[in-house]
A and B are shown apart, each in its own frame.
Chain A
Amino acid sequence: MRIPFFPPDLFEADRRVLIDLVREIGTDPAQTFLLGPRTARFETELAASVGADEAIACGSGTSALTLVLRAMGVKPGDEVVVPALGCAPLAATVLNLGATPVFADVDAHTLVIDPDRAAEAVTPRTAALMPAHMFSVMADMPRFRELATAYRLRLVEDSAVAQGGVLAGVPAGRWGDAGVYSFVQVKTFGLAGEGGVVVTDDAELARSVRALRNHGQRARFRYDQVGYNSRFDEVLAAFGSYRLPGFAARLARRAAIADHYAERFADLPGVLAPPPGSDGRCYYVYTLLADRRDDLSAYLAAHGVASHVYYPRALPHQPAFAHAAPPGARWPNAESAAGRMLSIPVHPYLSDADVEHVADTVCSFAARIPVA
């Protein structure tokens, strides 16, 4: 049995639809390939799916974060509070605007940014808080909303991995002044190329993001501000509209797999699963904390199960970001997690037998009993 980490034949069932869409758009007499009517329709559908006033599709989730930060006026000298564990764009988007990421440690178990550590990181130069949802757990957004209000800060919700998650009745992406989703194929709502979206109810922010994604253009060839090329293409938009109705079922399958894992992994020695429950969960990736992580990874591989170490280092320990962190500072939970985390397959195309095999293999490793 071989179980890849991500499905290798993601859109096999959609092969004909996808290829036909490319032909339809390539030969459409309108010859509109970017930000056209299909994108507008997809934006409307996305906005409706999470109850947002505005959805602005752009080149990628990373780019979506950049556009939001720019639209909020983040500039050189500003600080943005970000998690000490996570994906590079959390720090890179801030640095590329000339601002400084201030790293706050994460919770030891949920691995999302700790609101108390974030509060301690606020200074007079702080322009925004940027919590991120990680793997399968949403950040403590009610607390971050309180903090943003109390300190009068902008709240950017890095919900790139969490489309479809809901916390206390509010969808991921809808807690911040703006949220983002990424459509790179591995995400919960992955598409057949790079793309992302900003969701917001803030009309002014939306207007600014719309201009910024297309060179800062207000009217044809009239540029009010220096903008980016971060546009969405019609093929992905049409494919997105086609895939959206099936999204809920795929999310439910992910949740069912994760529930099964949670049950099987409840009391394993040396292997800690994410906290059980469904509120504030979105199963992009299912990540264990294992004392003997590399052994577990090798054991899984020997039994045909691919696993992945997402972040072998805390963000402030990446060579690109170390200069932004205070010398000698530590982020104990992020550092510990970086040495122990291991992600296992949770995608919706796993069969029940696949899931059972993954669970059996993890359990047998923990019990040191060889799998038959």
Chain B
Amino acid sequence: MLSEVQTPAVQAPPVPFFSQARTFDALWPVLESRLSDVVSHGKYSHGRTVAELEAALAAWTGAAHVVGVNSGTDALVLLLRACGLAPGDEVLVPAFTFVASASAVSLARGRPVFTDIDPVTYAMDLGSAAAAVTDRTRIVAPVHLFCQLADMAGVRALAARHRLTVVEDSAEAIGMRWDGVHAGLLGAGGVLSFFPTKTLGAIGDAGAVLTNDDRIADTVAALRHHGRAGRTVDNFPGISNATVVAGVNSKMDDIQAAVLLAKLAGLEAQIARRAELAARYTERLRPCTGVLRLPTVVARDVATRAVFYVYLVEVDRRDDLAAHLAAQGIGTETYYPAPLHLQPAFADLGYRAGQFPNAEAACRRALALPLYPDLADESVDRVCDTIRAFYDGTPA
């Protein structure tokens, strides 16, 4: 020992799994003015700002109709209902996804029928989907997870073969495109979630339905406002319109719409920043002992556009790594620790472990790393160094 004096350990700043605080702060002048307009207009849900957001999103995505609702989950429930899902109808849903992809089917009183996933895209495996079709199957509901679309050419071919309606769970997929067409517009309709962590995120819950179908848009618009016909957005007397369908209350808050409008102006730049960060992760984690799979955007016959909402890796000893990262102040998320066919909520559907091996394997190995435009390059480097050190057995 040359010295007994200990230098204080330099504490690296924590890397939260998610933050939009810097973006929010930078947008504040715009946002403050938008919020001030909401207060001046005096309508705090289903008002003028919501209508403006719907129009802006329609322009951004190319959708003929965008119907703003209270959450991505509600959007999917209402879209399924508007597509004519009747009690007992079957809907094909991948087993590896957020619970709402399947619970929306149950809430719409249909029956989710699970399929395995493609191990690279984590989206619905089409062979598994084809095998699950019965004479009660009405809808195929692919989910676009993490950074890319499901194989929509394959989904559409399957749908055509079995006369199924395509409903896209595009909750995560804002900005993703297939042959120029925005996610959610490749079938009857799709949804967007504006949960705070999303690529376009509010500071509360909000969601939307995207569709080019006038009838579906009208039905969703009625369903979200107690089943009332006609125009109700920013139109108080519309609450006395006839109730034409058993609806729900799924109106969007104008404060959330104001946040989303302020962020929408910078969305392309935010998507580009996400791509930069994802590329940085990939560069630093390839190769890395213990990291079994990095995100791979699959080339299709047509041009597609990937958007890195989540940077998901598959790793050895996943839970140990997550705990180690947490101890170092690095946040991660386990998307998803259990496949839906084995969740207690769907136990009555009678599935068993082992039925969907790709979904089950992904649940054992997948880990989402911090990825958001506010994240610094140095934070990505620190995450990668910490992962390397974990598997190399050396201190970071």
Question: Which residues does A use to contact B, with CB under 8 Å?
Answer: 5-12, 15, 18-19, 22-23, 25-29, 31, 33-34, 59-63, 66, 76, 87-89, 91-92, 95-96, 98, 184-185, 191-194, 215-217, 220-229, 231, 233-236, 308-313, 318-321
* Residues of chain B lying within 8 A (CB to CB) of residue A220: 337
B303 at the interface (CB under 8 A from A): no
Contact, CB under 8 Å: A92 / B248: yes
**Is there contact, CB below 8 Å, between A233 and B39?**
no
B251 at the interface (CB under 8 A from A): yes
Chain A binding surface, main DSSP class: loop
Q: Are A98 and B87 neighbours in the complex by a CB distance under 8 Å?
A: yes
Given that A27-B21, A62-B248 are contacting pairs, would A193 and B35 also be in contact in the complex, using a CB cutoff of 8 Å?
no
Binary contact readout B230-246 vs A (1 if CB under 8 angstroms, 0 otherwise): 00000011011011111
CB-CB < 8 A to B21: which residues of A? 26-29, 31
Flag if B249 contacts A60 (CB, 8 Å): yes
Complex Cα gap A331–B336 (Å): 52
Chain A's closest residue to B372 (CB) is A31
Q: Are A22 and B35 in contact (CB under 8 A)?
A: yes
A347 to chain B, nearest CB (A): 12
Q: Is B137 an interface residue (CB 8 A)?
A: no
A12-B39, A31-B20, A215-B73 given as contacts; is B248 within 8 A of A233 (CB)?
no
What total count of A-B pairs have CB within 8 Å? 193
- Residue of A whose beta carbon sits closest to that of B73: A229
| Contact between chains at A92 and B226 (CB < 8 Å) | yes
- Closest-by-CB residue of B relative to A96 is B246
Q: How distant is the Cα of A95 from the Cα of B259 in the complex, in angstroms?
A: 34
Whether B39 contacts A63 by the Cβ 8 Å rule is no
Contacts of A225 in B (CB 8 A): 344-345
Q: Of B99-107, B126-134, B158-166, B291-299, which binds chain A? A: B99-107
Measured between alpha carbons, how far is A27 from B74 in the docked complex, in Å? 27
B240's contact among A184, A215, A310, by CB below 8 Å, is which? Answer: A310
Docked complex: B24-81 residues within 8 A CB-CB of A: 24-25, 28, 31-32, 35-36, 39-40, 42-45, 70-74
Can you name 25 A-B pairs with beta carbons within 8 Å?
A6-B236, A12-B39, A12-B42, A18-B39, A22-B255, A31-B21, A88-B247, A92-B226, A96-B246, A185-B45, A193-B256, A194-B252, A216-B345, A221-B337, A221-B338, A222-B343, A226-B106, A226-B107, A226-B345, A227-B345, A229-B205, A233-B256, A234-B203, A318-B243, A320-B247
Measured in the bound complex, the distance between the Cα atoms of B247 and A155 in whole Å is: 23
- Which residues of the partner chain B approach A235 to less than 8 Å between Cβ atoms? 203-204, 255
Chain B min CB distance to A140 (Å): 26
In the complex, chain A residues whose CB is within 8 Å of the CB of B42: 7-12
Q: Nearest CB to that of B27 among chain A residues?
A: A26
A22-B203 CB under 8 A given contacts A11-B39, A192-B44: yes
Query: Contacting A33 at CB < 8 Å: which of B72, B196, B251?
Result: B196
Taking CB atoms, residues of chain B closer than 8 Å to A234 are 203-204
